[in-house]
Structure 1
Amino acid sequence: MTDLKQPVVLTGDRTTGPLHLGHYVGSLRARVQLQYEAKQFLLLADTQALTDNMGSPHRISRNVLEVALDYLAVGIDPTRSTIFIQSQVPELAELSQYLLNLVTLARLERNPTIKEEIRLRGFERDIPAGFLTYPVSQAADITAFKATLVPVGDDQLPMIEQTNELVRRFNNSVERAVLVECEAVLARVPRLPGIDGKAKMSKSLGNAIQLAASPDEIVKAVNDMYTDPNHLRVSDPGRVEGNVVFAFLDAFEPDIELVTELKAQYRRGGLGDSVVKRELNERLQALLAPIRERRLELARDPAGVLAILSRGTVLARETAGATLCDVKAALGLSYF
């Protein structure tokens, strides 16, 4: 069993493209801090990404390196965090198979996160089976490492709830505590809106700012941000609620008093959108410049990055393998 005196963290991202600022505020900042406080495993979820991308598998495999570069560039230390590739740890697939026997189709269809993702993709009833069951795959990823903490956005809370349901069902069925329940770790800003203000930030929706964005790309994204459509003149009072620029300032500007004063001025009237956007642009440029430079430096040595992933995957297999042995023993499947 895991020593619960030391928290174990499992987190990861679907490898459908480079990471963006939504990931950064959602969990990346927390992951950088947690690596100094806990035993952390970071999963590159290429298998999970294939559940709705089987038509372009090579794009998914190429993005493994892109996501790894983003992790390293924001400050993940491979000597403190184990970064590994999901598809290269077959123990996770076997554990998923056992957990699938503990959940019904109806329960999977009721998962709010899955329901929303199905709606966004327009699947209706034509849902890939792998996509529908990915809460179970995610549960296997978490339980294989006996993780006690999982940094997530608030939209992922139903996934954590379902993971703990499966843990309890498994432990009850084998009448012993084999798997460990986990707790969600929510960021101060659990969800960042897209620059269009219509949905959460997402690369597929074209409303994201990537961590590797160039200075010009940042300027364009900030200028395109949705504000208050009724704030037509500088003198007009403006709405802060639903204003994407202020949502970003809340997320990224550490000077809370400055943001509070800007909001008050905007509400009273007399503060133009261009001034607020200029403030945000300066903050994002300062945040992303060192990340972008570090990422470019790391990208010059792709073999070195792959070596980090290889070492991490070996360690991940050892840990997941030990849990799988416990699971199979509890199920009476240890024959030799």
Structure 2
Amino acid sequence: MSSNQGTNQRVISGMRPTGRLHLGHYHGVLKNWIELQHNYECFFFVADWHALTTHYEDPGDLQQHVTEMVIDWLAAGVSPGSATLFVQSRVPEHAELHLLLSMITPLGWLERVPTYKDQQEQLREKDLATYGFLGYPVLQSADVLAYRAGMVPVGEDQVSHLEVTREIARRFNHLYGREPGFAEKAEAAADKMGKKAAKRYRDLRKRFQEQGEEESLEVARAMLDSQQNISLGDRERLFGYLEGGGKIILPEPQPRLTPASKMPGLDGRKMSKSYGNTISLRTEPAEVESLIRTMPTDPARVRRTDPGDPEKCPVWDLHKVYTDASQREELYAGCTTAGIGCLDCKRPLIEAVQAELEPIQQRAKEYAEDPALVRSIIVEGSEAAREEARETLEEVRRAMGLDYLR
């Protein structure tokens, strides 16, 4: 079965609730979400169950963390009018699909996920010999497959997780895709497209299956993606029928590689809460100034009259994010000739960060003062997500023979 079928215009992505977000989250994830929401059907969720896979002993104030994170999403520009925002644990279909997928997932697939042993090593102080930790790639798979998403934005280090999802979907379709009366149901689904579209679909299918015309296959796929008057289940049935297989119940999602976050922290390392080197999206302007003014610089530049090397200075890494090329050229010359001091170099950076954060902080203040609005966004988004997940679960239960009391 091809991995390209399905709802390719649907995107899903999630984030563990860690409370207030910082500039690394904004530049590494949120700016990408904001762009995607205008071009695709997007589902963005708070992965609160995933937080428990490594922090089950001390979950902290999850409710507060969820609320603070959603406020930062909204303040950054993620819009509930353009994307569906929801909380994972408010959609119990994720848990049911996780359970059902775990029945068919070989243990070896989970043990070979690279981050399984890596995280156990990194978090040696925690007891991670739990099923929840071993099985979190199956829960991740359920998060994606519940919405039959075509694309998942991931960094290169997460591609292996998505490959597990693709393998699970492939195995599920192989085991359960041959529903009784499949061909008859596919033909009936084609008729729902209308007489002209149905005729064209059948012609393209025949040319692909009898003459091997790859172009006919691609045209037919595009045609199915654009159909508005058939259900998602019928669409997946027609994708499978097109290629001569069974029904594609769970489409294999494709990775959408996102650029590696280039947001350095205040000490030159990657910005991360665990390093304590962050600037929060809601850090007050005065504190932003204080944090940047006290950043370490080139250790060889002891006195104001000593020339410096920007490439050895953490401040310079931030300039690469916030400062245009012509201004960087001036700052570079000033540093290497001792024409400017370190505080002179930091001033335009302080102003740029403050300017970026000002509108975000104003919106965050408005949302923080209206918790009922934030709650309603989460509740409404979760209900909308649950409707979509429910439809997938009905197909999955039917395929696995679990719909006998419904």
Query: Where on the TM-score scale, by shorter chain, does this alignment land: which range?
Result: 0.7 to 0.9
Match of 1:326 among 395, 402, 405: 395
Match of 1:247 among 308, 311, 317: 317
Separation in 1, partners of 2:168, 2:296: 41
Question: Contact 1:240–1:267 (CA<8 Å) still a contact in 2?
Answer: no
Q: Equivalences for 1:1-336 in 2 at 5 Å?
A: 4=6, 7-57=9-59, 59-123=61-125, 126-175=128-177, 176=246, 177-198=248-269, 200-233=270-303, 235-240=306-311, 243-253=313-323, 255-259=324-328, 262-263=331-332, 266=335, 272-336=341-405
Separation in 2, partners of 1:122, 1:74: 35
Query: Secondary structure of the equivalent of 1:11?
Result: strand
Larger radius of gyration: 2
Q: Name whichever of 123-132 and 323-332 sits farther off.
A: 123-132
Paired residue total: 332
Cα deviation, residue 303, structure 1? 0.9
Separation in 2, partners of 1:140, 1:276: 48
Going from structure 1 to structure 2, the CA distance change for 1:192 and 1:129 (only over 3 Å counts) comes to: farther
Going from structure 1 to structure 2, the CA distance change for 1:110 and 1:6 (only over 3 Å counts) comes to: closer
Going from structure 1 to structure 2, the CA distance change for 1:104 and 1:289 (only over 3 Å counts) comes to: same
Separation in 2, partners of 1:135, 1:256: 42
Going from structure 1 to structure 2, the CA distance change for 1:320 and 1:151 (only over 3 Å counts) comes to: same
State the TM-score, normalized to the length of structure 2.
0.73
CA RMSD of aligned residues (A): 2.8
Separation in 1, partners of 2:35, 2:333: 32
Separation in 2, partners of 1:278, 1:66: 30
Letter in 2 for 1:325: E
Question: Contact 1:238–1:268 (CA<8 Å) still a contact in 2?
Answer: no
Cα deviation, residue 91, structure 1? 0.4
Going from structure 1 to structure 2, the CA distance change for 1:80 and 1:230 (only over 3 Å counts) comes to: same
Cα deviation, residue 58, structure 1? 5.1
Query: Secondary structure of the equivalent of 2:273?
Result: coil
Question: Contact 1:197–1:225 (CA<8 Å) still a contact in 2?
Answer: no
- Give deviations 1:31-77, integer Å, cap 9, x for gaps: 11111111111101111112222333451122111111011101111
Separation in 1, partners of 2:383, 2:321: 36
Unaligned runs of 5+ in 2: 178-245
Question: Contact 1:154–1:190 (CA<8 Å) still a contact in 2?
Answer: no
Cα deviation, residue 212, structure 1? 1.1
Query: Secondary structure of the equivalent of 1:240?
Result: helix
Separation in 2, partners of 1:7, 1:224: 46
Cα deviation, residue 159, structure 1? 2.3
Question: Contact 1:36–1:80 (CA<8 Å) still a contact in 2?
Answer: yes
Query: Secondary structure of the equivalent of 1:326?
Result: helix
Unaligned runs of 5+ in 1: none
Separation in 2, partners of 1:269, 1:113: 46
Cα deviation, residue 139, structure 1? 1.6
Separation in 2, partners of 1:7, 1:320: 16
Cα deviation, residue 210, structure 1? 1.3
Separation in 2, partners of 1:107, 1:317: 28
Cα deviation, residue 299, structure 1? 0.8
Going from structure 1 to structure 2, the CA distance change for 1:240 and 1:59 (only over 3 Å counts) comes to: same
Going from structure 1 to structure 2, the CA distance change for 1:256 and 1:174 (only over 3 Å counts) comes to: farther
Q: Name whichever of 153-162 and 6-15 sits farther off.
A: 153-162
Separation in 2, partners of 1:202, 1:132: 25
Going from structure 1 to structure 2, the CA distance change for 1:124 and 1:256 (only over 3 Å counts) comes to: same
Going from structure 1 to structure 2, the CA distance change for 1:206 and 1:33 (only over 3 Å counts) comes to: same
Q: Name whichever of 98-107 and 47-56 sits farther off.
A: 98-107
Letter in 1 for 2:277: N
Separation in 1, partners of 2:143, 2:78: 20
For 2:200, the equivalent position in structure 1 comes to none
Question: Contact 1:194–1:207 (CA<8 Å) still a contact in 2?
Answer: yes
Question: Contact 1:41–1:83 (CA<8 Å) still a contact in 2?
Answer: yes
Cα deviation, residue 222, structure 1? 2.1
Letter in 1 for 2:309: G
